[in-house]
Structure 1
């Protein structure tokens, strides 16, 4: 495969044939596969968007990896071959869960969230799925949540004719209430897109997380995100709370935080996700 040979030359400065390549499901955004070269096994995904998507994903993975708290695939490199962008990572084989998997996962995520910064946001913008994610640095979580998370997604949904002005008006009634609904927290380093499709079980039985949308945010936003599609095992949440307790009333706040990922899903997959948004707004406005 000529494309992979060019990738190998860019990453390893070697001209050699690929020992083995297997295409795997890359989701709705990228193509992906696993290849073997010179005794190593690597994961690669690619597209022809030319959007710097992989460049910022690599930055996010490296930022998470430097914390030495959660297991993150090592970034081999990213680049461009012709008009095709790619990201290459070490290949992590998925294993079966062991008895302490969820406890260890909750503890390691709590350790990640203890990494903090002076402001909410990040020093660069990135992506959530294929959508741009703005990360302007702000002092206050609710300001960040409104200005950098909710408003951009609402604008995109309007531009795509997925919502009308009435939804914006309902959100406007919610915004002044957020400071009283959400407890004050220091910025925490978040994976940003943590659901069951973005982790696997590594060689040592640990959770390995990938496909991040990294930023410094309110850590309850991360925990709420894990609840989007049925949630994780209860042991995960208990061990997280034991390691880094959260304020009471979190169950009431989950749906507020998940307004953002639900808006993202509206913009990616269509208006069927609006029902959950409307239910939450009816509770709090």
Structure 2
């Protein structure tokens, strides 16, 4: 692994990689994070493409990508800090800027990213869709994971029928049309790193073109410190459409079903409950 890190960074490795997350020190003293994706060949390149795509001027900072191949991703180390109201306000404004950078279509992958990508440890299809957003979201985000969750027993047939009914009527639930936003795509609190420089850094994206409310709904799903401050700052920069709070359950169907596929029935039950609230 040391030789591979040296090749990707263009520097000799002085120490490591070791620790959690695995870190290596280069010969110039730079400390880098080494992510091993050998269990999912190609995931490292996909993540690198996503990081580069969401690194927009004025957006949330992302770690520098030193290099990636089919197995390893080498990025810069983020100095840890703590969440503060000031950092949350900054994050809300920067996240609005990221979303406003846009995408060519719903479902489009980052430049250089694969059509068959990853979210967590499961696969995710990124292919352009002309819209409207609800049609794409149902076809390429909700229904594939509903089928997989049902097949593994995490959602029963009755629950699956509830989610399918929501997808069938999604046009009436989706809210006003919006252009495709540039999404992080897996924006739970663990992928937001509060740093010592007063910023919230983004890591581990499943980036694609989508609806901006999806990123915000995922922040809400697993909780984020000072989320109310983040949302207020975001709304000040890029006002959210009326009724966005009522659409949170809709946008959370996708991550809940992904978790049902990965971790089982508790998340499946949450997905069905969210779908029932939308009917």
Q: Same fold (TM over 0.5)?
A: yes
Answer yes or no: is 1:37 the counterpart of 2:26. yes
Listed as ranges, the gaps of 5+ residues in structure 2 are 110-114
Residue 212 of structure 2: aligned partner? 219
Shift of residue 21, structure 1, vs aligned partner: 4.3
Instruction: Give the secondary structure class of the aligned counterpart of 1:35.
Output: strand
Answer yes or no: is 1:64 the counterpart of 2:54. yes
The CA RMSD over aligned residues, in Å, is: 1.9
Residue 156 of structure 1: aligned partner? 148
Contact 2:48 2:65 in 1 (8 A): yes
Shift of residue 229, structure 1, vs aligned partner: 1.7
Match of 1:242 among 231, 236, 242: 236
Residue 18 of structure 1: aligned partner? 14
Instruction: Give the secondary structure class of the aligned counterpart of 2:221.
Output: coil
Contact 2:56 2:101 in 1 (8 A): no
Give TM-score scaled by structure 1 length: 0.88
For residues 50 and 209 of structure 1, do their structure 2 counterparts lie closer, same or farther at Cα, with a shift above 3 Å needed?
closer
Shift of residue 136, structure 1, vs aligned partner: 1.8
Residue 263 of structure 1: aligned partner? 257
Shift of residue 99, structure 1, vs aligned partner: 4.8
Q: Deviations over 1:72-129 (max 9, x none)?
A: 001011125xxxx111001111123455111100000001111123320114332110
Q: 1:13 & 1:112 partners in 2: Cα distance?
A: 30
For residues 164 and 239 of structure 1, do their structure 2 counterparts lie closer, same or farther at Cα, with a shift above 3 Å needed?
same
Structure having the higher Rg: 1
Contact 2:186 2:218 in 1 (8 A): yes
Higher relative contact order (CA 8 A, sep 6+): 2
Q: 1:144 & 1:102 partners in 2: Cα distance?
A: 31
Residue 163 of structure 2: aligned partner? 171
Stretches (4+) displaced over 6 A: none
Contact 1:118 1:139 in 2 (8 A): no
Shift of residue 18, structure 1, vs aligned partner: 2.4
Listed as ranges, the gaps of 5+ residues in structure 1 are 25-31
Identify the range of structure 1 (183-192 vs 98-107) with the bigger mean alpha-carbon deviation.
98-107
Residue 101 of structure 2: aligned partner? 115
Residue 186 of structure 2: aligned partner? 193
Q: Deviations over 1:178-211 (max 9, x none)?
A: 2122221110001011121111123421111101
Q: 1:97 & 1:232 partners in 2: Cα distance?
A: 6
Shift of residue 143, structure 1, vs aligned partner: 1.0
Instruction: Give the secondary structure class of the aligned counterpart of 2:134.
Output: helix
Shift of residue 50, structure 1, vs aligned partner: 4.5
Contact 2:85 2:229 in 1 (8 A): no
Match of 1:133 among 117, 124, 135: 124
Identify the range of structure 1 (130-139 vs 45-54) with the bigger mean alpha-carbon deviation.
45-54
